[in-house]
Amino acid sequence: MDSNRSTAETIYVSDAVTTTAKILVVGHFAVGKTTYIGSLSEIAPLRTEEKMTEASAHVDDLKGAPDKVTTTVALDFGRLTLSDELVLYLFGTPGQQRFMQLWEDMARGALGALLLVDPSRLAETFPVIDLVEKYGLEYAIAVNTFDATAEFDEDEIREALDLLPDTPVVYCDARDQTSSARALIALVQHLLTRAA
């Protein structure tokens, strides 16, 4: 961000913007959705993170994220200006089944979804794929490797998730802006191909 710009210029969208697009960032619990949006958003992201309590101990499986102490209870929101005329709005969905009723509203008007995947917990991805497909969203898979999980090649991921041949699969580190941007670009290219 340019430190010479006023707060109003960095918070509000320019009057020159003529097109906005809504993208969902989805995935199972503790896969890195909040981190992903935070790495790309040009504004301070809106987060609805709450401390995890004893009540969730028997519901939320922390096996893949033993240090996790907060969880998204509604959504994450970020913004990314791509040009003077085009802005992307990034909406991160909560990952637990008990929050899935929020998906219908969040999916409405979305161009597509970037589905974050933890290769060590692929089975948790199937309910998310089902929801994305239920709402008719085109999607790309972003294999989040920030936890130094075991490497799986693209063919293994495709086979394990039973993906269509044209579904993009990219690898990213949700903490890294450049890596996260590459995953978003893969989704946007896929959406453009499908729209053509």
The CATH number covering residue 146 comes to 3.40.50.300
Number of domains in the chain: 1
Six token digits for residue 28? 């199972």
Task: Dump pLDDT digits (tens) for 82-121.
Answer: 888 889 999 998 865 656 677 778 889 999 999 999 988 8
**Cα separations in angstroms, 85 against 16, 37, 164:** 6, 21, 33
pTM for the full predicted model:
0.81
Model confidence pLDDT, tens digit, residues 26-57: 998 889 999 999 999 999 887 666 565 555 54
43: containing domain: 7-195
Candidate from 55-59, 105-109, 175-179, 190-194 with smallest mean pLDDT: 55-59
| φ, ψ of residue 13 in degrees (nearest 5) | -75, 140
**How many other β-carbons are positioned within 10 Å of the β-carbon of residue 167?**
16
Q: How confident is the model at residue 6 (pLDDT cuts 50, 70, 90)?
A: very low
